[in-house]
Amino acid sequence: MARTLEQALAGDPVTAAKRLLGCTLVANGVTLRLVEVEAYAGVGEDPGSHAHRGRTPRNTSMFSQPGTLYVYFTYGMHFCANVACRPAGVGSAVLLRAGEVVDGVELARERRRGSTDRDLARGPARLAQCMGLDRTSDGVDLLAEGSAVRLVAGKPVAAKRILSGPRTGVAGDGAATPWRFWIDGEPTVSPYRPAVKRVRTGKNQTA
């Protein structure tokens, strides 16, 4: 099963993103089912991607083998988790935007005090927080047996249930790219928010 998922992730980021829907992520005592993701392409292909301008110390995991976890810190307060896709060296990833906690809910509640169960992982920063993910998890092989953070293939979601739209918080030339994918009817999908105009620093792309 891990090999099948690795093959799916080795394709283009849009295909990989759709394949990740319905998969489960297991980390630090919590398991969630992925219901919303965003695809990001490689060097020179996608202005919204961290990989657009090439490899850096921060985004190295995006250029690793398919199934590598890429965790970054953003806006001085949040961690976000991504799954590398396409062959090693290319530099693409899928942002894990939202999920339904299916096991370890008490621990997730402890990490997300004051949150409703619906909102435990409803958004990429919340997802990383409830799963206990930070930069120490960056570079983990999600498909390796015994990995501290594991990605497990789920039942493929029917194409008619997969909806798409613009990516959340992406500005500039990548704003209209409809590479956010979610499962129709899932209450844990996050609300769409367009980008807020900020002074450009080169560090505020989403993934």
- In sequence order, the β-bridge partners of residue 150 are 26
State pLDDT tens for residues 137-191.
999 999 998 999 999 998 889 999 999 999 998 878 888 899 999 999 999 999 9
Amino acid letter at 101?
V
pLDDT for the residue 204? 47
**CB burial of residue 90 (10 Å; 0-12, 13-18, 19+):** buried
Alpha helices in 60-139, H assignment, sequence order: 105-111, 124-131
Query: Distance between CA 153 and CA 16 in Å, rounded?
Result: 12
For CA atoms 159, 163, 166, 168, give the dihedral sign. negative
Domain, as residue range, for 114: 2-183
pLDDT per residue of the chain (207 residues) written in tens, 0 to 9: 455 888 889 999 999 999 999 999 999 999 999 999 999 999 999 999 999 999 999 999 999 999 999 999 987 789 999 999 999 999 999 999 999 999 999 999 999 999 999 999 999 999 999 999 999 999 999 999 899 999 999 888 999 999 999 999 887 888 889 999 999 999 999 998 887 665 544 544 556
pLDDT for the residue 5? 87
Query: Distance between CA 25 and CA 71 in Å, rounded?
Result: 14
The CATH number given to whatever domain includes residue 168 is 3.10.300.10
pLDDT for the residue 134? 97
Q: Is residue 48 a part of any domain in this protein?
A: yes
Q: What is the pTM of this model?
A: 0.91
Cα first-last separation, the chain: 27
Q: Is residue 87 a part of any domain in this protein?
A: yes
Closest among 34, 23, 3 to 154, alpha carbons compared: 23
**Structural domain tally of the chain?**
1
Q: Is residue 191 a part of any domain in this protein?
A: no
Closest among 31, 36, 33, 32 to 17, alpha carbons compared: 36
Q: Is residue 63 a part of any domain in this protein?
A: yes
Q: Is residue 9 a part of any domain in this protein?
A: yes
Query: Distance between CA 173 and CA 190 in Å, rounded?
Result: 23
Q: Residue holding tokens 């891990």?
A: 2
Q: Is residue 122 a part of any domain in this protein?
A: yes
* β pairing state of 162-165 and 180-183: antiparallel
Q: Is residue 68 a part of any domain in this protein?
A: yes
Q: Is residue 203 a part of any domain in this protein?
A: no
